[in-house]
Chain A
């Protein structure tokens, strides 16, 4: 009963945020001279209007969910992993290269590509965790900066050594992977692929991991009060490296599922320009790092984005309307953070020293 109640309560705020977001969006539509109802109808249609659009939204949600889950785990342990983008890109690059250059049957290549993506992205993320626990380098800063190294490195790799020279296009990309390595689509002719199933399974697995295992318990306690965790014998350093590894591994999963399920190659900039990583982080913040909530919020953000495309196709209101709504969501999230920060400060003054 209590659990159900608290789950419902945790939904109130994100829903409120979305509502206000739509309200502000309505004002923006009014300003550019659009019809509010018409625009939102098109947005709904663009996201869920037909089976094709629905599956399109699910496909877009797939990497967002996976990134979001990774960020959620790190947040639960109390770490701001801002490096999902770089982790995802490195994961995607290693998946593409593995799929291209490992010999063997398709299924071996698929497993190898997944393993490579998870390990590389995980290690890249764990590196930041290790730097923090060993040398006290601020995780938020290192993960942010490691993004640049990762994306630029990946760009170089596909611009020079592994550039696809077969086609006439001058794009920085790898060659296309073999058809036997491509993840099957869930429905004929639709974009959504097996990666979405993986994302759903990952959501449930993470939910179980955080709530029902001893390691998950230690992660929750570490995130809740690091001093309490250390007092109880939880080793912060080890747990930090481990949770950062898992966090990065999720971003790697996002990368590999995009490469094997949608793009069939690594194309420089395709993952970053779609803003999957930042949408994932936003979904996590909206859902307060609850895995299932993160998946739902990811779907919502994906719908907002695909819906925005629908709006642009069919009305005079530009695509940016979605960005405005998202911006309001971000405002709400930061307001929530500020409030809980103030609350914590107040509580601290209450329990702590007298001064």
Chain B
């Protein structure tokens, strides 16, 4: 056994983040660690990487007990970690980022030439091509992740921990990453992958350990399990199958005509975007992030002025109208970045909850405390939002719970049109199930929903119609019933539509 963690317990005050967790890793294996948010996956890996010390328990490497005081100790024992949020210097080149901490030197001077040579040698050895002189700031997220993995390999890691490695990647980049992982294991490297994306886990791992509430609920071989079983082990109950009724499509609610935002780059941010969303349908917008989806949503919701074209909501021209007016005309909006747009972190749960609901929660300019409590505590109950109280500051809620609060707030607007942008980003399986169910319910009630997501599976699962965006244009419209993931991926990457148009 390459690595063993024996009955690890980690307590923060009264909270047990890990309780008697046993975890081990064989040489050349991919061992996935899965569980809902707050199940203790990251804590366990932080212990292994020396960032936390366990309250009790023992780590053994090659059968010998070890104690890590900080990550340097872990690196000495050939353990490397790639964090969910990359830790690179954007202003420096790839080579400089890779050799950091063990820079080649000529006398006392940094030897840039040798750094580049070493980077090339490393990338060839492991079959992960990079351009060593390129600045990290100019790299795609997939490339940055490759740099992170090479950095860990440069430090001599035999065991590599990947924390949510595919969260920010495009489908194509995910494929490349999974291929790299397989290639590296063939060269004898071992991987621990933290993730909640079951399909990817199933594809790449040999064994899977499931954590729930800090306790291991089981370790299974990937070849002997399936996604349903894993979900059950994670959530602790049977997941409800989403019932999708036939779409009852009504009149158009949102109509976009030739919407263009020129911007100050060589290419327009949005170019002649034209589509409708009808009552009772979910229109999914697929695309690699940064291809105009954000601008599209901001244009529709009045947060960004458009240069050409018209936008109509409920047959009312809302081009250039204020956010307030657009919202009053029937828009609710689950924003793509919950911390940037969706909440005020310093404000309380109830303050964050009543944004856009002031007409219902105030009387003659005064906030109505009772109405606010009834409204917000209703959501807390219905969506199972875990919060200390309604006066808890939003920043103390976990990402998933905050997202549930935002979704609850926007769905409760009961508007004829709803934007759902990345509605389940960073949210665990249980919460995802609730949010998807609520979106479908709104659709069945006759609302028009525009769904934007970087998760293709989410788009495919919820949409009735799928639009694909590439470089600010809608490059394809597909019927969700017949569309395939390959078709969409191709369009997302700028390829031509095959068959349908």
Contacts and interface: CB of A to CB of B under 8 A. Distances in A.
Q: Do A and B come from one complex?
A: yes
Interface of A: 2-3, 6, 212-215, 217, 220-221, 224-225, 227-235, 347, 349-352, 354-355
Given A217-B354, A217-B358, A231-B301, A225 B366 contact: no
Nearest to B86: A354
Interface of B: 85-86, 88, 90, 136-137, 141, 144, 168, 301, 303, 322-324, 326-328, 333, 335, 337, 339-347, 351, 354-356, 358, 362, 365-367, 388-389, 391-392, 395
Contacts of B322: 233, 235
A230 B85 contact: no
A221 B301 contact: no
Given A225-B344, A227-B340, A355-B136, A217 B367 contact: yes
A213 B367 contact: yes
Contacts of B344: 220-221, 224-225, 228-229
Nearest to A225: B344
Contacts of B388: 2
Given A231-B333, A355-B144, 17 more contacts: A212-B366, A213-B365, A217-B367, A220-B347, A225-B343, A225-B344, A228-B341, A228-B355, A231-B303, A232-B323, A232-B327, A233-B324, A233-B328, A233-B356, A351-B339, A352-B337, A352-B340
A235 B391 CA distance: 25
A95 B136 CA distance: 61
Nearest to A2: B391
A224 B347 contact: yes
B338 to A, nearest CB: 8
Nearest to B324: A233
A172 to B, nearest CB: 44
A341 B350 CA distance: 25
A297 to B, nearest CB: 20
Given A221-B344, A350-B85, A354-B144, A233 B327 contact: yes
Nearest to B85: A354
- Pick from A212, A220, A225, A347 the residue with the most CB of B within 10 Å: A225
Contacts of A233: 322-324, 326-328, 356
Contacts of A212: 366-367
A213 to B, nearest CB: 5
Contacts of A354: 85-86, 141, 144, 168
A229 B335 CA distance: 13
Contacts of A234: 324
Contacts of B366: 212-214
A86 B330 CA distance: 45
Contacts, number: 90
A343 B358 CA distance: 31
B203 to A, nearest CB: 23
Closest 3 CB pairs of A and B: A224-B344, A233-B324, A232-B355
A230 B346 contact: no
Nearest to B389: A2
Nearest to B362: A214
A355 B356 CA distance: 33
A217 B333 CA distance: 20
A221 B144 contact: no
Nearest to B357: A232
Given A212-B367, A231-B333, A233-B323, A352 B339 contact: yes
A235 B324 contact: yes
Given A221-B351, A224-B344, A233-B323, A214 B85 contact: no
B226 to A, nearest CB: 31
A230 B342 CA distance: 10
A214 B365 contact: yes
A293 to B, nearest CB: 16
B86 A224 contact: no
B391 A220 contact: no
Contacts of B342: 228, 231
A205 B129 CA distance: 65
Contacts of B136: 355
A349 B85 contact: yes
A212 B367 CA distance: 5
A241 B3 CA distance: 63
A347 B341 CA distance: 15
B323 A230 contact: yes
B358 to A, nearest CB: 5
A227 B341 contact: yes
A221 B391 CA distance: 15
B367 A355 contact: no
Contacts of B141: 354
A187 B24 CA distance: 80
A347 B345 contact: yes
Contacts of B395: 347
Contacts of A215: 365
Contacts of A235: 322-324
Given A224-B347, A349-B85, A232 B356 contact: yes
A217 B351 CA distance: 8
Instruction: Specify which of A214, A221, A232, A352 lies most central, judged by the most chain B CB atoms within 10 Å of its CB.
Output: A232
